[in-house]
Structure 1
Amino acid sequence: MSHKVFFRSARPRHRTVVGCTLSVLALGAGLVGCGADGNPLAARPYDAADQIAYNAPAGKAKKVDPDKPLEITASDEDGRITDVTVTDARGRYVAGELSADGRRWHSTSPLAAGTHYTVTVSTEDEDGAPGRKVIEFDTSTPKSKTLKVTFGPNSGTYGVGQPVTAELSEPVKDKTSRAVVERALKVDSAPVVEGSWYWVNDKELHYRPQTYWPTHATITAHSDLDGVKVADRLWGGKSEPVKLTTGDRIVAVTDAAAHRMTVYKNDEVVNQIPITTGRPGFETRNGVKVVLGKQYVVRMRGTTIGISSNSSDGYDLNVYWAARVTWSGEYVHAAPWSVGSQGYANVSHGCTGMSNAYARWFFNTVREGDIVKVVNSNGKQMEPFGNGFGDWNVDWSKWRKGSALVADGSDGRNLSSARLRPESA
């Protein structure tokens, strides 16, 4: 059990200051008084060791329990605390509150585990003379779970629609704990854009700006959770940062009713492609999707979407120049068997098909993170999460509400795995 340790000095309990006016600043080392020669900068704060106490274990070998708040109290009945500054070895500050009477200060943000702290306490005695005491201590590392963060995607160059993801090693359900986690997950971009995290579930967060990322931007995601208390017996661990860059703004708009895809590069039309999309019963999903990856050849089978191999609708074939847009198996790919319908009718099982030449061009033009937007289809809306990156289908006001910092009244802004299977052809 922790108990208070009192620091004593040989300084007389009372001192009288004659013939000068004290100037007291509430910022640790900035406290000054006037000296015997009348110069207010001549005097220095006295050693206030006998005026303060803090809750620490006895003995230098003992370490402070980071699960408990730090408490500084005025032990001299005639003195009071004027300011407390607490920083760790990395320069991070610990927030706290000082009582109105100056008798007690306590931390309001958690201490980090396994960390060295420096505490500067400023005081004044009954005559208003300023005092100061510097305390140093280490926190223990309690037996607990470590919360690690894995950022995604891997460092590299992506399209302007690529969200940043954060996968947690442990579930975080409590709103307060989520706010602690979110404050420590930093996303910086150049140029600077407004963005926000969204809690997809207890272990997964996505980050995106209000609109697509700028072209040729640099985006860095990192965590400041190391050593930070998230919840009882749950502490943040070290995490590897990721650095992304964006390329040109590639947006492919698939008009299922017009049977045509229009591809934009930096808002200029660079190609118009005759296509076919999902036929009745297999309609292509509407909405914004993000390219998840590219494969030169993919084996597609009707059995993966519930079509019997004995059915007239069944198929088992190799598909070339395939760009994936959903985990459930929707692709943009070459479909030489349907060239006669491309530009005129929708005959696929959900994918967007085009000729070999157009598919090769599309494959070589897009990269992961580029946008494929489907309009005028009779299919259902693209899922926001769980079937690829449907993040851009969430309205910005709703997206902001997915932040734990917005939920707890903070600003929230910052200047689910699925089994892969081919679905349709």
Structure 2
Amino acid sequence: MNHSPRTTRTAVGCTLLVIALGAGVTGCGSDGNPLSAAPYDAADQIAFNGPSKGEKKADPDKPLEVTAEGSDGRITDVTAMDGRGRYVAGELSADGSRWHSTSPLAADAHYTVRVSTEDEDGAPGRKVLTFDTGKPLTKKRLKVAFGPQAGTYGVGQPITAELDQPVKLKAQRAVIERALKVESTPAAEGAWHWVDDKELHYRPKEYWPTHATIRVRSTLEGIKISDRLWGGSTKPLKLTTGDRVIAVTDASSHSMTVYKNGEAINDIPVTTGKAGFETRNGVKVVLGKQYFVRMRGTSIGIAEGSSESYDLPVYWATQVTYSGEYVHAAPWSVGSQGYANVSHGCTGMSTGNAAWFYENVRAGDLVEVVNSYGETMEPFGNGFGDWNLEWKNWRHGSALLKGNPEGPKPEDASRLRPAAV
């Protein structure tokens, strides 16, 4: 909200009113201040580009504009909101003569616009305007599906948004990204990252707070993305987080230390990938758990009948990549656990330790591998390697933040730094 200095103008205005009306007449309100009077009707002071004469509804393609009429007043604030509670971002000129929207209007929506003004004496004025927008000309709608499913996850779980149609242009991506809202309690700064033309991931700068509530929603419905595409309705999502559980596997010392809320709660002898099958370094997010998995060498490219071929029943299996990397029971390698790396890429441990690990982690918890000769976990495409991107590089994947080192625009600030509610 923009305010101009009022002290001098208010004093002059009150003096003139006292002289004109005589002592004892409270033209400036009961305390002699024009700001204490009820706001006047500012209808004669403002104009806006609502529906044209003869039209019942406004064109949602056109930006909303409110202007001050004449020279005896100025606009001090404008709020515009539709029936779904979606605010329209806007900018007010320095002299208070014009306000215009900077975010698109929704089609087929009812808007309420509240305009605040002040006259040349500093007295406040108010005017409420309403209008409806027309329906979009095309029926083509973009659908968005949020993930994962509602539930409780570890503090490393990214949010996903799957689009049913590809979107390539940065300006169109910005419209979509601005409408995808993530709010956490406690608050956590975060950002969306475009994985490809149809998928976005959202993660905080750091891991999620423990025992947080995360709400994800879209305000894209009725918003124009392109001439042939408008936003459709999207089902909101609510997640919660549990404790901060991080398992750190040191491939060089053949050990795993499990931390819960910063405290080490277990040290486990393990074996990781041998030469040629080294376990990936980096941070991985637990994808899920299976009591029993049949593991075959052919699933990772080992030819049947070769010296490396295997076909094994595996129990207490916790999955960390789509390509088949697990933390699991490996009773056949107990003699090497804590001493040597003999697996084909998984992290193996005794049956008892694997059962303990299985029972004490959930999807979204974190498994970090260090000191392996393997490559670093891919950020995308093989599970959730999102945390292996530095924050500045993560921000580069945003259509709103890339090339904007000074931070988000005002209309994006609440989405990127959600306040506790």
TM-score by length of 2: 0.79
Q: Which of 128-137 and 257-266 deviates more? A: 128-137
Residues 378 and 226 of structure 1: CA distance in aligned 2, closer, same or farther (over 3 Å): same
1:109 to 92, 103, 108: 103
Q: Secondary structure at the match of 2:209?
A: coil
Alignment of 1:200-349 (within 5 A): 200-349=195-344
Q: Out of 175-184 and 294-303, give the one that drifted further.
A: 175-184
Determine the structure 2 residue equivalent to 1:149: 144
1:163 aligns with 2:158: yes
Cα offset, 1:274, TM superposition: 1.7
Paired with 1:161 and 1:80, the residues of 2 have a C-alpha distance of 57
Q: CA deviation at 1:52?
A: 4.8
How many angstroms does 1:271 deviate by? Answer: 1.8
Contact 1:253 1:262 (C-alpha < 8 Å) held by counterparts: yes
- Would the aligned equivalents of 1:80 and 1:101 in 2 still touch at CA under 8 Å? no
Residue 414 of structure 1 corresponds to which residue in structure 2? 417
Mapped partners of 2:93, 2:353: distance in 1: 71
Helix, strand or coil for the counterpart of 1:219? strand
One-letter amino acid of the counterpart of residue 339, structure 1: V
Cα shift readout 1:224-266 (whole Å, capped 9, x = no counterpart): 2222233333322222222222222221111111111122222
**What CA distance in whole angstroms lies between the structure 2 residues aligned with 1:108 and 1:264?**
46
1:48 equivalent in alignment to 2:62: no
Is residue 136 of structure 1 aligned with residue 130 of structure 2?
Answer: yes
CA change 1:333–1:80 in 2 (3 A) is same
Q: How does 1:75-90 map to 2 (within 5 A)?
A: 82-83=74-75, 86-90=80-84
Instruction: Provide closer, same or farther for how the CA distance between residues 227 and 81 of structure 1 changes in structure 2, counting only shifts above 3 A.
Output: farther
| Pairwise CA distance, 1:329 | 0.6
User: Which of 176, 179, 204 pairs up with 1:181?
Assistant: 176
Q: Is the 8 A contact 1:80 1:123 kept in 2?
A: no
Q: Indicate how the Cα distance of structure 1 residues 341 and 237 shifts in structure 2: closer, same or farther if over 3 A, else same.
A: same
* CA shift for structure 1 position 269: 2.1
Please state whether the residue corresponding to 2:49 is helix, strand or coil.
strand
Q: Give SS of 1:407's match.
A: coil
- Cα distance, 1:72 vs structure 2: 5.8
> What's the counterpart of residue 39 of structure 1?
27
Distance 2:159 2:250 in 1: 28
2:27 alignment partner AA: N
Change in CA separation of 1:294 and 1:39 when aligned onto 2, cut-off 3 Å: same
Q: 1:294 to 1:104 in 2, by over 3 A?
A: closer
Q: Which secondary structure state, in structure 1, belongs to the residue aligned with residue 401 of structure 2?
A: helix
The whole-number CA distance in structure 2 between the counterparts of 1:319 and 1:43 is 75
Q: Distance in 2 between matches of 1:323 and 1:267?
A: 21
Q: CA deviation at 1:373?
A: 0.8
In the alignment, structure 2 segments of 5+ residues that lack a partner are: 1-11, 15-19, 29-36
**Residue 376 (structure 2) aligns with:** 381
**What are the Cα deviations for residues 94-114 of structure 1, in whole angstroms up to 9, with x where unaligned?**
345677998876543211111
Letter in 2 for 1:345: A
Name the amino acid aligned to 1:64: A
* Superposed CA offset, 1:314-344 (max 9, x none): 1122211100000011011111122222222
Residue 194 in 1 paired to residue 224 in 2?
Answer: no
Superposed displacement of residue 302, structure 1: 1.2
| Structure with the higher fraction of residues in helix conformation | 2
Distance in 1 (CA, whole Å) between partners of 2:212 and 2:124 is: 51
Aligned to 1:9: none
**Structure 1 pair 91/291, CA: closer, same or farther in 2 (3 Å)?**
closer
Q: Give the 3 Å change call, closer, same or farther, for CA 237–337 of structure 1 in structure 2.
A: same
* 1-structure distance, mates of 2:268, 2:124: 78
Contact 2:41 2:127 in 1 (8 A): no
1:79 to 1:120, Cα distance in 2 relative to 1, 3 A: farther
Which runs of no fewer than 5 residues in structure 1 stay unpaired? 1-20, 24-33, 416-425
Cα shift readout 1:201-228 (whole Å, capped 9, x = no counterpart): 2222222222222222222222222222
- Take 1:394 and 1:211, find their aligned partners in 2: how far apart are those partners? 11
Aligned Cα root-mean-square deviation (Å): 3.4
For residues 234 and 156 of structure 1, the distance between their equivalents in structure 2, rounded to whole angstroms, comes to 32
Rounded Cα–Cα distance in structure 1 between residues aligned with 2:239 and 2:162: 17
Cα–Cα, structure 1 residues 22 and 94, in superposed 2: closer, same or farther, change >3 Å? farther
Deviation of 1:382 (Å): 0.5
C-alpha deviation, 1:130, in angstroms = 10
Match of 1:394 among 384, 389, 405: 389
Measured after TM superposition, the shift of residue 276 of structure 1 is: 1.3
- Pair 397,379 (structure 1): closer, same or farther in 2 beyond 3 Å: same
Contact 1:116 1:137 in 2 (8 A): yes
Distance in structure 1 (CA, Å) of the matches to 2:148 and 2:216:
10
Rounded Cα–Cα distance in structure 2 between residues aligned with 1:408 and 1:186: 21
> Residue 67 of structure 1: which of 61, 66, 70 is its match?
61
User: How far apart in 1 are the matches of 2:21 and 2:86?
Assistant: 35
Structure-2 change in CA distance of 1:119 and 1:255 (3 Å)? closer
Residue 366 (structure 1) aligns with: 361
CA gap 1:408/1:94 in 2 versus in 1, 3 angstroms: farther
Matches of 1:316 and 1:282, distance apart in 2:
16
Given that 1:79 and 1:125 are in contact with CA atoms closer than 8 Å, whether structure 2 keeps it comes out as: no
Residues 337, 65 of structure 1: CA spacing in aligned structure 2 closer, same or farther, 3 A cutoff? same
Aligned in 2, Cα 1:300/1:407: closer, same or farther, shift over 3 Å?
same
Letter in 2 for 1:48: D
User: TM-score when scaled to structure 1?
Assistant: 0.78
